[in-house]
Amino acid sequence: MSEWIFNRNGQPKLLFDQDCIRNNSGQVIAYINNTNIHTMKGQHMGWFESGIFYDSANKAIGFLKNRIGTLPSTPGLAGSPGIPGFAGKPGRPGLGGAPGKPGRGGWSSNDLVAYFTI
């Protein structure tokens, strides 16, 4: 089941779809392998744990509505639009290794959509 990923302001911006992240048009823009998030080219770019997405500095960048992890601060949530239809998933790239994880700290200064559409 797919669900919206909210940014630090509580706005639905991207979609979580089991093992990938999709843009608001339904195209796959990143893959999730265990807790690691990888670009479409296989480069490590962050982590996904307990319903929270973290950037490469291990700062919160997005979250699911029903997360069980703790956010640095909890915004009010905007209404969620309908889920678009999805095309098939492209082939999964070879995935690079994950770097050591830095300590957590606050919200990321990166924009959720821009960060995952690099």
What confidence tens digit (pLDDT) does each residue in 87-111 have? 778 877 777 777 878 888 899 999 9
What is the pLDDT at residue 89? 82
User: For every residue of 49-64, which 3-state class applies, written as one string?
Assistant: ECCEEECCCCCEEEEE
Q: How many domains, in total, are found in the chain?
A: 1
What is the pLDDT at residue 17? 94
Q: How many CB atoms lie within 10 A of CB 46?
A: 27
Residue 55 belongs to domain spanning: 3-116
- % of the chain at pLDDT higher than 90: 65
Tell the residue number behind the tokens 């082939």, with chain if given: 91
Mean pLDDT, range 55-79, rounded to an integer = 93
Tell me the sheet residues that pair with 46: 37
- % of the chain at pLDDT higher than 70: 99
pTM here? Answer: 0.88
Structure tokens at 118: 């690099």
Tell the residue number behind the tokens 């678009």, with chain if given: 84
Distance from C-alpha of 77 to C-alpha of 79, rounded to nearest angstrom = 7
Q: Which helix (H) or strand (E) holds 17?
A: strand 12-17
